[in-house]
Amino acid sequence: MNEAVNIENPEEFDPETTDGGDYGDSGPEGQEDGAEPVDLPAGEAAQRAAAVGPADEPDELELAYGEVADLKDKLLRALAETENLRRRSEREKAELRKYAISDFARDMLAVSDNLQRALAAVSEENRKDSPELGQLLEGVELTLRELQGHFDKHGITEISPMGEKLDPNLHQAVVQLDHPDAPHGTVVQVMQPGYLIQDRLLRAAMVGVAKGPPAALTADGADGNGAAPHGSHNVDTQA
């Protein structure tokens, strides 16, 4: 029946259209060769792009910011280390200026001791009886005063602990003496004066300390000085 219709209407039947190459453009083989790809939904396309695209690679701007922060941290650390080094150098330089003459000053203390012993060896009566001896001692006194002036100029001061409480940091106790009026541990004799250079000990003073007045034993078995009845007095002799 279809053939009859085609025969009756020859205009509608076109062999070239039916059997020609244009038919292949709309068939399955045409889709493989020249058809455009099928458009995917927007969400699925975005997911595929996120999975395989270059988004996983770090951003160049973020890398630059990270490098800048790292370099800034290193710069601050270097500046802090430089400032600490400068302060340490200044402190060491100041200490060197203050204490550079410590060894020389310690040797000069013996000169001062000998001059003081020379003046103490002559009494006032002998000085009055011998004018020549008096003039000699005046020269010794002038020399001692000049030496002490130089000590003061360089920050060297004398320690005179007579009547003070024993200080192990400044005094060296070499003997204990009976002294009924002085409390226990009080300096009652100075055999050799001590000296400081600036705020540092140059030489400890050699002193004698009082044992203290005798005291009756207390109820806990200790004497009035806080020591055991049969124990010895412990005195720190290191300056």
Q: What is the pLDDT of residue 62?
A: 87
pLDDT greater than 70 at residue 214: no
Q: What is the pLDDT of residue 182?
A: 86
CA 151 to CA 143: how far, in whole Å?
Answer: 12
Locus of tokens 């458009």: 39
Q: What is the pLDDT of residue 171?
A: 93
Instruction: Return the DSSP state at 10.
Output: G
Cα-based angle 131, 136, 142 (whole degrees, multiple of 5): 125
Return the amino acid letter for 104. F
How does pLDDT run across 31-80, given as a tens digit for each residue?
444 545 555 555 565 556 555 545 456 688 888 889 999 999 999 999 99
Q: What is the pLDDT of residue 49?
A: 54
Q: What is the pLDDT of residue 157?
A: 93
Neighbours of 233 (CB within 10 A): 13
Cα-based angle 182, 195, 210 (whole degrees, multiple of 5): 15
CA 58 to CA 161: how far, in whole Å?
Answer: 76
Neighbours of 116 (CB within 10 A): 15
CA 176 to CA 207: how far, in whole Å?
Answer: 9
Contact, 166 vs 187, CB < 8 A?
yes
- Tell me which architecture the domain covering 159-210 has in CATH: Roll (2.30)
Averaged pLDDT of the chain = 76
Q: What is the pLDDT of residue 42?
A: 55
Contact, 193 vs 223, CB < 8 A?
no
Contact, 236 vs 174, CB < 8 A?
no
pLDDT greater than 80 at residue 232: no
Residue 85: both structure tokens together: 């080094």
Locus of tokens 């062999």: 15
Residue 39 DSSP SS3: coil
Q: How many CA atoms lie within 13 A of 69 on its CB side?
A: 6
Averaged pLDDT, 142-163: 92
Q: What is the pLDDT of residue 57?
A: 61
What residues contact residue 180 under an 8 Å CB cut-off, 6+ apart?
213
23 — pLDDT class (breaks 50, 70, 90): very low
How does pLDDT run across 68-117, given as a tens digit for each residue?
999 999 999 999 999 999 999 999 998 888 888 899 999 999 999 999 99
Q: What is the pLDDT of residue 59?
A: 84
